[in-house]
């Protein structure tokens, strides 16, 4: 493998890992706090992508400055995630807290199916193109390799998100409350933490992160029905590799999957189709609960 190819694998792997991390972080946050495997996370991604496509389309068609378009894309999608998260949590999820985890999965799956139809009602069956932010960002040449500035921005966005998350969890009051709930919900409640409020806030933040993932990816893909399904499968794989509920795990899982996939496309493209799942199977064979699974307290 030449130096250029190795560099290409690194860049491609980081870009793909950034995408996976942004999508998976919300999923793993909700699972870590609420122990809900949220299938509707794919819908948050879809709504974020469609919302961004609509906002960007209107903004760029008016010939306004490019920078505002990026901001609008992100803010609009996150606002959509906030509203959707609140509706889902207040309207459905709070009625099933405490039920069996399988029931929770089925409830979120039902919500996912309903929201897929809501997308058709709102945006119709056609696909949307949101290429303006991608093309407006330009590119840089590194040797023979041309790298999109938008992709580099994606890596930076994922890094900033990881840093904010780490800081918020370790150094803010809410982060400490969250850590207490993650560690033991009942004990946290006994110490006076309003677990219901923590749940609501966590679910909404998770929804906003899912929508943010959709908004950031919208300029690179054709925004169309079914994108949420693809994403949720990939996000589950990343979260399973890293360990359910672990943010460090999501980061590690995204990096492993991203680099492995990029290396496969460059070196052995024939096996690209299943490399992600092969990596997942391999990790789970060695560590059945993922790489960064949190130690579980034994209750007597």
Partner 1 sequence: MLFGGSARGRACCWLVLFVSWLGVVPTQAQNAPSGGTVKLGIVSFLTGPAAAPFGIPGRNGAEIMIEAMNAGKVPAPFNKPGFGGSTIEAKYIDETGSTANVVTEFRNLVQRDQVDAVVGYVSSGSCLAVTPVAEELRALTVLYDCGTPRIFEEKPRSYVFRVSPHATMDNVAAARYLLAKKSDVTSYSGINQNYAWGQDSWRDFTAAMQVLAPNVAVDKVLFPKLFAGEYGAEISTLLTSKSQVLHTSFYDGDLEAFIYQGQARALDKRMTIIATTGEAAIWRLRDKMPSGTIVGARGPHGPLAPDSEFNRWFQKIYSDRYSIPPTYPAYQMAMSLLGLKLAYEKAKTEKDKTGEAKPTTDEVAAAFKGIEFEGPSGSVKLAIGDGHQGISETAYGTYRFNKEKNEPEIVDIVRFPAECVNPPAGVKADDWIKGGMKGAKC
Distance CA 243, CA 170 (A): 19
Of the candidate spans 57-65, 71-79, 136-144, 288-296, the one that interacts with partner 1 by CB under 8 A turns out to be: 136-144
Structure tokens at 209: 């992160």
**Residues 6-35 within binding reach of partner 1 (CB under 8 A):** 8-9, 11-13, 15-16, 19
Residue among 47, 11, 81 at smallest CA distance from 218: 47
- Please say whether the beta carbons of 219 and 49 come within 8 A: no
Of the candidate spans 4-12, 72-80, 105-113, 161-169, the one that interacts with partner 1 by CB under 8 A turns out to be: 4-12
Residue among 108, 63, 109, 84 at smallest CA distance from 207: 84
**Residues 207-266 within binding reach of partner 1 (CB under 8 A):** 217, 219-222, 224-227, 230, 261-262, 265-266
131: contact with partner 1 by CB under 8 A = yes
Q: How far is the CB of 4 from partner 1 (least distance, A)?
A: 6
Measured from the CB atom, is 197 or 222 closer to partner 1?
222
Distance CA 9, CA 13 (A): 6
5: contact with partner 1 by CB under 8 A = yes
- Please say whether the beta carbons of 272 and 262 come within 8 A: no
- Please say whether the beta carbons of 282 and 291 come within 8 A: no
Q: Kindly tell me which residue out of 65, 100, 270, 288 binds partner 1, with binding defined by CB under 8 A.
A: 270
Q: Kindly tell me which residue out of 269, 277, 282, 287 binds partner 1, with binding defined by CB under 8 A.
A: 269
Measured from the CB atom, is 4 or 64 closer to partner 1?
4
Output the CA angle 251-257-259, nearest 5 degrees.
Answer: 100
63: contact with partner 1 by CB under 8 A = no
Q: Kindly tell me which residue out of 114, 120, 156, 163 binds partner 1, with binding defined by CB under 8 A.
A: 120
Measured from the CB atom, is 20 or 29 closer to partner 1?
20
41: contact with partner 1 by CB under 8 A = no
150: contact with partner 1 by CB under 8 A = yes
Distance CA 24, CA 249 (A): 10
Name the H helices within 62-184: 66-91, 101-123, 132-136, 149-171, 173-183
By the criterion CB under 8 A, which residues form the site for partner 1?
Answer: 2, 4-5, 8-9, 11-13, 15-16, 19, 120, 125-127, 129, 131, 134-135, 137, 139, 144-148, 150-151, 217, 219-222, 224-227, 230, 261-262, 265-266, 269-270, 272-273
């Amino acid at each position: 493998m030449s130096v250029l190819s190795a560099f290409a694998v690194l860049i491609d792997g980081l870009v793909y890992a950034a995408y996976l991390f942004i999508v998976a972080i919300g999923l793993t946050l909700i699972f870590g706090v609420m122990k809900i495997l949220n299938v509707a996370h794919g819908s948050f991604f879809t709504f974020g992508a469609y919302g961004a496509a609509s906002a960007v389309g209107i903004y760029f068609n008016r010939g306004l400055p490019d920078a505002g378009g990026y901001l609008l894309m992100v803010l609009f999608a996150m606002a959509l995630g906030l509203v959707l998260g609140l509706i889902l949590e207040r309207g459905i999820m709070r009625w099933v807290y405490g039920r069996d985890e399988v029931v929770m999965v089925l409830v979120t799956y039902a919500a996912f199916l309903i929201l897929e139809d809501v997308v058709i009602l709102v945006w119709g069956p056609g696909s949307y193109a949101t290429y303006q932010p991608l093309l407006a960002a330009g590119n840089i040449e590194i040797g023979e390799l041309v790298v999109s500035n938008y992709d580099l921005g994606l890596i930076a966005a994922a890094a900033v998100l990881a840093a904010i998350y780490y800081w918020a969890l370790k150094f803010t009051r809410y982060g400490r409350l969250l850590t207490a709930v993650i560690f033991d919900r009942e004990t946290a409640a006994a110490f006076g933490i309003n677990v219901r409020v923590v749940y609501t806030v966590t679910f909404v933040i998770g929804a906003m992160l899912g929508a943010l993932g959709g908004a950031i990816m919208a300029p690179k893909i054709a925004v169309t029905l079914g994108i949420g399904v693809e994403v949720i499968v990939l996000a589950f794989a990343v979260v399973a590799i890293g360990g359910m509920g672990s943010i460090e795990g999501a980061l590690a899982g995204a990096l492993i999957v991203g680099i492995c996939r990029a290396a496969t496309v460059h070196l052995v493209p024939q096996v690209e189709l299943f490399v992600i799942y092969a990596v997942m199977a391999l990790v789970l064979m060695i560590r059945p609960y993922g790489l960064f699974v949190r130690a579980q307290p034994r209750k007597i």
